[in-house]
Structure 1
């Protein structure tokens, strides 16, 4: 595969691919070794003079996606749970904006969204806004459920 095709496939610049290829050639790593070592070890072999950086604990986006299916669960709530877990174990964590971006990337990569095809203006979409509210009748003392929905037109 050409370096240009590799760059296009990985969505990186050709210069990045060129630098990795140059590092590989100068490191003289046997090809059978690639399957035997992890990414961190490979990075150390390709860039031996580079100071290792401290990396943040990455969230489990499979868990995040399953939790988001539950009512009342938001990305903000899951991020707070994640940061609390990191703090309790003394690990670094990523910020909320990166947490959300990486979740969107995860959802795109795993095709976790559903696109509904329809003619524009042909249908009205309805989305329920959270949990049911309770309405209390002061005269009778009865409690009724109130469903709030947000109409969307396309």
Structure 2
């Protein structure tokens, strides 16, 4: 687990990012991200004694909703139907979706989020089931003599 409390403490004491990286055993990108988020939330050292790294993670990087509520979600039924047609791709559907959102004054999803939500919808509707079996538990041999 990332040592959020330690990163904030060392930052408050004026240590360089390099020393914080070495001390906490994390990448520079992690240190920069934690420092930036702590500045945004006005978290400075000293922190509350009872504050744990888990609580800090929830406060700083909660993943309650990755999509802002003012973004319009795609029409999954229409997308499923259109993807069955020849020559139709997700990129083409996203372009149509973007144009429709802009025409209606809605905020659209970017392409990666658009594809992610389509994939999540596909996962809900998938009708396959993986059956775990031990090796050699069930053997089918068919010989044509």
Bin for the TM-score computed over the shorter chain? 0.3 to 0.5
Greater strand percent: which structure?
1
Q: Normalised by the size of structure 2, how large is the TM-score? A: 0.40
Q: Normalised by the size of structure 1, how large is the TM-score? A: 0.38
Greater helix percent: which structure?
2
Higher RCO (CA 8 Å, separation ≥ 6 residues): 2
